[in-house]
């Protein structure tokens, strides 16, 4: 079975086929995820909260991300694997290149994900010019939680929405090959998805993005601090984790998730 690549995802976007993405941090869950037919695995810095027990993603280190990415890559057979660049690991283009080098060479990631818009454009350009595939991340950016003050929807005002759209276009022009949109109004997410040639993956961004991503622990209903409103518990009514993951993949591909109640 061949590995999914960015070319696979581009073909899916062109054909209107939805892309199913989930987070994973270890070998056992990754085996279940692969068996369910997931398209992409994101090794997210969300591990800082759901695995390590921190209040935010900020304490996660590059070594943490390398370790967990390697865990996933040892057993991944088909899914494309993306690794998060953790907080304060990409403050300059050279630092970002060093971090990406570790995530790809030691961890085995196929792509790295960077939070941020205009301030990250130069860094994205620097990385992609050096053969590092990059996924952007706009909207709610958990690494900026102390600036935001709370985990809340972004882009509701006209000015803020225009800024996010402008940032998305700039990231694509800088060479980003994917984009994650988190917690933005569905109308804005649909506009950005239409405006970009690259695949756009939503989380709390409505049904009209090219695909969906959820935190594994959230969609299994085992997050201790409460479940975000844009999440559905796919384990409810299922008899196994793999069945829950398969139900999620089917719901994303069939367009039944996210439903109206999962959007803003």
pTM of this structure: 0.96
- Using alpha carbons, select from 164, 82, 79, 173 the residue that is nearest to residue 125: 173
- Using alpha carbons, select from 147, 182, 211 the residue that is nearest to residue 45: 182
Tell me what pLDDT residue 155 has: 81
Tell me what pLDDT residue 149 has: 57
- Using alpha carbons, select from 124, 127, 148, 110 the residue that is nearest to residue 6: 110
DSSP 43-83: E-TTHHHHTS--SSSTT--HHHHHHHHHHHHTT-SSSEEEE
Tell me what pLDDT residue 130 has: 98
Tell me what pLDDT residue 206 has: 96
Positions marked active-site = 182
Tell me what pLDDT residue 227 has: 78
Is residue 74 within 8 Å of residue 114, measured between CB atoms? no
Contacts of 231-238 spanning 24+ positions with Cβ under 8 A: 231/262, 232/257, 232/258, 232/259, 232/262
Q: Measure the CA–CA gap between 239 and 227, rounded to whole angstroms.
A: 21
Digit-coded pLDDT (tens) for 162-176: 999 999 999 999 999
Q: Which residues of the chain are under the pLDDT cut of 70?
A: 1, 144-151, 224
Task: Delimit the domains of the chain by residue range.
Answer: 6-262
Tell me what pLDDT residue 57 has: 94
Tell me what pLDDT residue 148 has: 60
Tell me what pLDDT residue 174 has: 98
Percent helix, strand, coil in the chain (nearest 5)?
45, 15, 40
Which 8-state DSSP code applies to residue 112? E
Fold of 6-262: TIM Barrel (3.20.20)
Tell me what pLDDT residue 84 has: 98
């Amino acid at each position: 079975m061949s590995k999914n690549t960015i070319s696979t995802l581009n073909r899916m976007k062109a054909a209107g086929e939805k892309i199913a993405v989930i987070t994973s941090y270890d070998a056992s869950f990754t085996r279940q995820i692969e068996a369910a037919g997931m398209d992409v695995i994101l090794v997210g810095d969300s591990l800082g909260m759901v695995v390590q027990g921190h209040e935010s993603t900020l304490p996660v280190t590059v070594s943490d991300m390398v370790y967990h990415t390697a865990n996933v890559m040892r057993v991944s057979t088909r899914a494309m694997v993306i690794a998060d660049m953790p907080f304060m690991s990409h403050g300059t283009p050279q630092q970002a290149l060093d971090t990406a080098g570790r995530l790809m060479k030691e961890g085995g990631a196929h792509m790295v994900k960077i939070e941020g818009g205009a301030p990250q454009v130069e860094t994205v350009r620097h990385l992609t010019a050096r053969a590092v595939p990059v996924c952007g991340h706009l909207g709610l950016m958990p690494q900026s939680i102390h600036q935001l003050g709370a985990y809340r929807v972004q882009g509701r005002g006209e000015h803020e929405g225009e800024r996010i759209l402008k940032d998305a276009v700039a990231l694509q022009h800088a060479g980003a090959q994917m984009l994650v949109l988190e917690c933005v109004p569905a109308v804005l997410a649909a506009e950005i998805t239409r405006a970009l040639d690259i695949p756009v993956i939503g989380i709390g961004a409505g049904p009209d993005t090219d695909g969906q991503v959820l935190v594994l622990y959230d969609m299994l209903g085992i997050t201790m601090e409460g479940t975000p409103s844009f999440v559905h518990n796919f384990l409810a009514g299922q008899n196994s984790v793999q069945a829950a993951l398969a139900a999620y993949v089917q719901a994303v591909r069939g367009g039944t998730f996210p439903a109206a109640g999962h959007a803003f």
